[in-house]
Every structure is written in structure tokens, then in C-alpha cells.
Amino acid sequence: MLTVNGPRLWNSLMEMAQVGATAAGGNCRLALSAEDFAARALFADWCHQAGMSLDTDAIGNLFAHRPGRDLHAAPVVMGSHLDTQPAGGRFDGIYGVLAGLEVVRSLNDAGITTAKPLEIAVWTNEEGARFTPAMLGSATFCNILPLSHALAVEDAQGISVATALAGHAGNLPLGRPFDAYFEAHIEQGPILEQAGLPIGVVSGGQAICWLDVEVRGDAAHAGTTPMALRHDALFAASTMINRLEQLAAAFQPHGLVTVGQLLIPASSRNTIPGHVRFTVDLRHHQDTHIAAMEQQARACLQQQAAQRGLDVAIRRHWFSAATPFDAECIAAVRRAVSALGYPHQDIVSGAGHDAIYLAQHCPTTMIFIPCRDGLSHNEAEYATPDDVRMGADVLLNAVVERAGG
Amino acid sequence: MLTVNGPRLWNSLMEMAQVGATAAGGNCRLALSAEDFAARALFADWCHQAGMSLDTDAIGNLFAHRPGRDLHAAPVVMGSHLDTQPAGGRFDGIYGVLAGLEVVRSLNDAGITTAKPLEIAVWTNEEGARFTPAMLGSATFCNILPLSHALAVEDAQGISVATALAGHAGNLPLGRPFDAYFEAHIEQGPILEQAGLPIGVVSGGQAICWLDVEVRGDAAHAGTTPMALRHDALFAASTMINRLEQLAAAFQPHGLVTVGQLLIPASSRNTIPGHVRFTVDLRHHQDTHIAAMEQQARACLQQQAAQRGLDVAIRRHWFSAATPFDAECIAAVRRAVSALGYPHQDIVSGAGHDAIYLAQHCPTTMIFIPCRDGLSHNEAEYATPDDVRMGADVLLNAVVERAGG
């Protein structure tokens, strides 16, 4: 089996982490900021040293190219992003880019040229911290977001993507054919760490259903209103949220239910809440199950409201269907990890990734490695050198199989 | 039985409601504002016309005096307040003051001089809308709040009570003896209206226990954290609030439980809440029961936290023991309402009133009349002319009995 140079990869990760380093040991490289361009420049230097050529497309996605033996084949692409959250970590995104670079470096060391060309993609504004929406570059590449919309998006200071990109956009066509896309990433959750496994074979992205719930009762004086005459919107909402927790239990081990925000407008300590708003985030990797979860959530919210004589309004805020990854790509990862003898398990991606959009464009999958305490979007984000190395080993072998070694 | 002139009382209420009238039919007369002083001036005119003299004390409490036959007796005092909430109503407070005036006018009409002198008190800043705390004037009079503290309190614009009072404070001693204090008031709750009764014989004020609760779990990504590995502070808080509602059921018909405020700091739709704060308002008219409610509330909050492996911190924010009113004063009200033949029931005061503090100073009680839909602190606040008249009839006869007709 081929293996990467683990220390070289680790050293590159640590050197890249000097660009936009924060005092607390994390990174701040907002998309298309000076720090982001400095990171791209450092990456480009390394790619040039590895014999690759670089080019960009109209939304600033950066591609490093390594020719294959077959001049007409579409490339097998690796990658992720170099931008971070304002108080982000050293691995989220960066790992997928530098693991791709380490794959190329290792192939150079071994004197291997693949049949299909290889590329490393750096997607623009994956984090969504500076420009909304997140995954803006891959969405534009995959024709999910029109280029003109993407370029017109402004940050909080009113600076547009087009302005921030000036001089950094190129002529590579959006949506050009890829043979396949492989993205290595930290898990951003606790599952692999809890299981003590270095590799997650990612089967796809979850379906997500976001609901907005509004409960209306009657505000009244906490001291003068007998319990029997109250229509307390918070007591109702609390029971609803209890029932949603029970609903999650009925969809284990894959269903996720979160009430992330709850607001009592114009609340006061001695006023019975007459109005409560809360959000519901439902997730499952199977579309049939997310549909059942939404239907049961709506039914239990409505039943609770009816039982208490209150009004409830339920609106769908957003819905995204499940994204199954490509069976052949997953099988290539599975063969690589088995041949390497690394402990692993199948896992579903809970967070958003460029790969979720790429899956609509070409055969796609991801490789996860654990991160400490499941922490991400956090300066304390950490992955061990061993896990970093093993994830890149899996990427190397899966990509070489796909590209024809 | 003596009776008041109902239309005269109603007309005075409506005329007073012109002072600081709001477009929506309510009143805005913040304490010690131009509108409040205009209301006091109108009241003073009416008192002078009724043959009364007026004076104020150092915190601006205004007293109208009607001499009795016994020159050495302490006065029987009626009253309430003329200040309102920013979007307040036409009856809260004002009714107790003008019902007192109507008692004096009716005694004038009947040519009756009581043995003990009568007074009508207008307490300063009862609402607490401009200056905190509420019931500032009566608290100062009753030596619950030191005068120097009360004068130093500032409103949101930094104007102190002392500044706002300039020229309106007098030399009547604080804490001088009263023979008794009777306060007529709208109920500010739905009990009498629901029961179809015009009069509530008020037995005292409730005990109040305010708790601050803080639940700490772990914030985490809503998409990447399996249910089994979560420490969701909002799911915990929701169960706690459910249990508090059940606790209220165990203390019926008198126990009240309200969670008026709930906050998830730094919340986001797709982040599991790691931290939730909420308030608890417990009320009961018996001190032994409020103690049991607090103890059981704490136990159930702690049990829920322990069961989920979360931390909970519970702090007492405020505690106020029950205030039983004076048995003799209550009996006088009861004799008056029975002799008048008015339907009535015993009731506990759920809201704060100047009478709660006066009860620490002299024999005290209150008389409640219904208000529409239980509404108060609201421009739509309303009491019917009949109920307004009947409450004043009860006040008249109870006061005359106490003062010696």
C-alpha cells in the first residue's frame, strides 16, 4: 500500500496555521481577506514546488493541476477550503486541501503518474462567516447559485464578493467535468473519537428540516391569574419541546432534534408568557425518515396546542434533502481503509461541506478523521498527527485507485 | 345603610382620566411628571371643594384631611395612587383615591362627621414605572425604605426623585400614626369577573418567592452530535418547567407558578443550547405553603439536572412573606358588604399595593372590584359604573364603622 509522509503533512498544516494565527492558537482567515489570499499564495507556492500548475474560475475557486497519462480524461479532484470562522481552527477545511497536496507530494516521491489527471480544489467562502451563504464557491461552480448572485453578495461592511475578488478570478470554466471528488475533513462531531476510530467512511449528507414555531396564549399578571384560567405559552412550549425530545428517541440512532433558539417577546419575570417563538432543527440521513419526523413533529405540536386551547403556527424555514454519496467512490475509500488495516466505521456528514454540492456534479465522497472533543469552529479545534496521517493515507489510495495508478 | 353618589364618582374618574389621556383610551401619568402633578392638583381642588385641607410629607405623599369629632384620634385613612404605567389604565390606583373622595363627599351630603378624622392618601410612585422600586412612597412612609435612599433613586434619564419632587415635598411626618388604612382597588385579575361577583373581601397579600435558575450543559453542533452524546440545556430546562407546572397543580387552588423569562445566551438555530437561564415566580397566600413550594421546586430542578448529568444553579432573587390583613378591618368590610347585600367572596391580593406596606404600619385591608378580562397595566383597563359604585359603598360603610359614625 502507498502511504503519505505524515510529518511533512503535519508540518505543512502547522505552517499554514501561522497565516491568520490567533492568540488563542486558532485561525482567523475570513474568505477573500488578506489572510485568505496569503494562505492561497502559500498553498500555490507549495503546489508549484510539487510541479503543479494553478488557475482560478470566475468565483475565485483555485485549482492546482497535476497532469495524468490520459490527456483527455477529466480530473480526479481532491480539496476543501482555506477560509476559516473568525475564531476558527487549524484543521476545518485546511486539512482537506493539504491532504490533497500531500497525496501529490507522495506520488511525486514514489514516481507515480496516474492515468487521469489530479487536481486540488480550494473552494471560495466555504464557511459563510464573511459572505452568506456558506459554500458559495462550490455552489457557484455546481450551478446551484448563479454567478451573478454570488458576485453581488456583500459582507457586513458592504463589500461585494466581486470587489473582494478583484484580480483573483480567472477563466477556468465553472461546472467543467470532474471524474470524481474526494474531500478529507475533520468530523466536527464526537462519534469517531467516542468510538476510538481514526477513519469515518462517509456515506452522505443528512436531510435537514428547519421549522419556525410560534405559540400564542394570553399574557397575564403572574400574581393575580389563577392557574386554571391561564393560557401560558411557555408551559405549552416546554411540553412541546419535551415531546420533540421524545420524538428524537423514536428515530434513533440516526434522527437528530434540536431546539436551538427560544424567545419570549417582551418578557418579564412576573408576566405569564403570552407568546413564545422557537426553532426546530430535524435531521436524518434518510429522506423517508425526515418526512416522518417532520410530520410527527407538526402533529405533536398541534396536539399540545389544541389540548391547551392555544394557537400554534408552524412554518418550514428551510428544507434540504439527504445527499447520498457515490457508491463507487465510497467503495474505493472502503477498499483503501481495509487494505491499510485502519479501524473505521461508516458515518453520515452532519455539517455542510463543499462535497454536498459536488455530489450533484460528479461522483463524490468524503473521508472523516476524529477531532478532539468533537470541537470545530473553535480555536481549540485539534486532530492528532496520527489521525491526520491515516486520513491522508486513505485519501491517497482511494484517489490512486480512482485515477488509475 | 349609607350609599355613595355613583354617577358623581364615575364622572370624577372620567374627568381625572383626561389628565395624561392616551389616544387608545388609557392614561400615561408617570410618577412626579407634569401629568402626575396635574392630577394631584385636580384632586386637591376637589378636596378643597369638599372642605378638606391638604399637606404632603418628605417623599411627596399627599394627604387630604377631614377633621373628626375627636381631636386627638389618629385618622382612618383611605387612598391609593394617581400615577400610572406608561400605557396604563383609568382605574388602577385612581379608583382608590377617588372612592375615598366620594366617601367624604357622601358624608358631607349626609351631614355626618365621624369621631375619628378621615384622610385620603395619594402615595408617590406606586407603579415603579418611572422610579424603581414600586410603592416607593408608602415604603418610605412605613420606614421600609430610608428616605435618603428613596430621594436618591433616579429615573432612566438620571433625574432623581429629589429633583422631580422639588417644591412638592412637605413637612407632614413620615410614619405618623394611622388608626387604620382601607384601600379600594380593581382586582387586576379575572377571579371576581369569572365568578360574577362585584366585591372581593381581601384577606391579605400573597407570599412571593422569586428564583433565578441557570442550567449548564454543553453547546455543540446540531448536525454532528448524536442524541445520546448531547447535554442539551434547553431539553433539560423544558422538562424542569414541565415539572414546575405539575408542582403548581399540587398546590391548587392557591399556588401560582410562573416562568416569565427564559434566555439562551448566544443561541443559534443549529447549535445545541449549552446554557439556559430562566426565572421562577412562586406565590401562595400561606407562608408554610410557599416554603414547601420553594423546597419542592428546588428538589425537582436538581433532580432533573442530576438525571441528565447537567449543572443547575438556583438562586433566590427575592422573597416576600405573606401579608395577612387586619382581622378587625376585614370584619368591618365583611359587615358592610353583607349589610349592603352585595354578592362577594374572599380573595387574596396577587399584585403589590401600597396596602401591603401599610399593613406593617397600622390595621389595614383592601376592597376589590372586578376589572374586565382581568386586564390592568393596559389602556383597555375597565371597570363598570355599577361595580365602581358598589365598591365605594362598601368602603364608605366600613370606614364609617371604623371611624365612628
Chain A CB contacts of B349 below 8 Å: 223
Across the range A69-81, mean pLDDT stands at: 97
Q: pLDDT confidence of A266, banded at 50, 70, 90?
A: confident
Which residue type sits at B15? Answer: E
Mean pLDDT of chain A: 97
State the residue for C-alpha cell 410562573: B258
How far apart CA B54 and CA B44 sit, in angstroms, is 7
Q: Beta strand A53-56 with A256-258: parallel, antiparallel or unpaired? A: unpaired
Burial class (CB in 10 A: 0-12, 13-18, 19+), B309: exposed
pLDDT at residue A360, rounded to an integer: 97
How many beta-carbon contacts under 8 Å exist across A and B? 199
Choose the closest CB to B221 out of A189, A225, A238: A189
Distant-in-sequence contacts of B293-296, Cβ < 8 A, 24+ apart: B293/B209, B293/B247, B293/B251, B293/B255, B293/B257, B294/B209, B294/B211, B296/B247, B296/B250
Q: Using the beta-carbon criterion (under 8 Å), do A259 and B252 form an inter-chain contact? A: no
Across the range A256-262, mean pLDDT stands at: 97
Q: pLDDT confidence of A236, banded at 50, 70, 90?
A: very high
Q: Provide the 8-state DSSP code for A325.
A: P
Q: Using the beta-carbon criterion (under 8 Å), do A259 and B273 form an inter-chain contact? A: yes
How far apart CA A289 and CA A254 sit, in angstroms, is 9
Chain B CB contacts of A258 below 8 Å: 222, 232, 270-272
Question: Is 0.80 surpassed by the pTM of this model?
Answer: yes
How far apart CA B359 and CA A326 sit, in angstroms, is 78
Chain A neighbours among B 278-297 (CB < 8 Å)? 279, 281, 283
Q: How far is B202 from chain A (nearest CA, A)?
A: 13
Task: Indicate if the pLDDT at residue A66 is higher than 90.
Answer: yes
Bond prior to B75 in cis (omega within 30° of 0): no
Choose the closest CB to A273 out of B188, B253, B260: B260
Which residues, including other chains, have CB under 8 Å from residue B388's CB and lie 6 or more apart? B6, B9, B10, B13, B91, B95, B99, B369
State the residue for C-alpha cell 443549529: B270
Choose the closest CB to A248 out of B223, B227, B255: B227
The residue of A269, A371, A373 whose CB has the most chain B CBs within 10 angstroms, and thus the best one to mutate to test that interface, is: A269
Tell me, what's the ipTM? 0.89
Across the range B318-329, mean pLDDT stands at: 95
Chain B neighbours among A 131-150 (CB < 8 Å)? none
Q: Which domains does chain B have, with CATH numbers?
A: 6-205+322-403 (3.40.630.10), 207-320 (3.30.70.360)
Q: How far is A190 from chain B (nearest CA, A)?
A: 6
pLDDT at residue A268, rounded to an integer: 87
Q: Centre a 10 Å sphere on the Cβ of residue B265 and count the other Cβ atoms it contains.
A: 11
With contact defined as beta carbons under 8 Å apart, do B376 and B343 qualify? no
With contact defined as beta carbons under 8 Å apart, do A311 and A218 qualify? no
Mean pLDDT of chain B: 97
pLDDT at residue A226, rounded to an integer: 94
Q: Beta strand B180-186 with B76-80: parallel, antiparallel or unpaired? A: parallel
Q: Using the beta-carbon criterion (under 8 Å), do B235 and A255 form an inter-chain contact? A: no
Chain A CB contacts of B220 below 8 Å: 189-190, 374
Q: pLDDT confidence of B405, banded at 50, 70, 90?
A: confident
pLDDT digits (tens, 9 = 90+) for B39-90: 999 999 999 999 999 999 999 999 999 999 998 999 999 999 999 999 999 9
The residue of B258, B366, B376 whose CB has the most chain A CBs within 10 angstroms, and thus the best one to mutate to test that interface, is: B258
How far apart CA A292 and CA A286 sit, in angstroms, is 10
Task: Indicate if the pLDDT at residue A141 is higher than 90.
Answer: yes
Q: How far is B295 from chain A (nearest CA, A)?
A: 20
A272–B contact, CB cutoff 8 A: yes
Chain A neighbours among B 224-263 (CB < 8 Å)? 224-229, 232, 234-235, 237-239, 241-242, 245, 248-249, 252-253, 255-262
Choose the closest CB to B256 out of A222, A239, A376: A222
Q: Using the beta-carbon criterion (under 8 Å), do B249 and A258 form an inter-chain contact? A: no
Task: Indicate if the pLDDT at residue B268 is higher than 90.
Answer: no
Task: Indicate if the pLDDT at residue B266 is higher than 90.
Answer: no
Across the range B353-368, mean pLDDT stands at: 98
Q: Using the beta-carbon criterion (under 8 Å), do A238 and B242 form an inter-chain contact? A: yes
Q: Using the beta-carbon criterion (under 8 Å), do B262 and A260 form an inter-chain contact? A: no
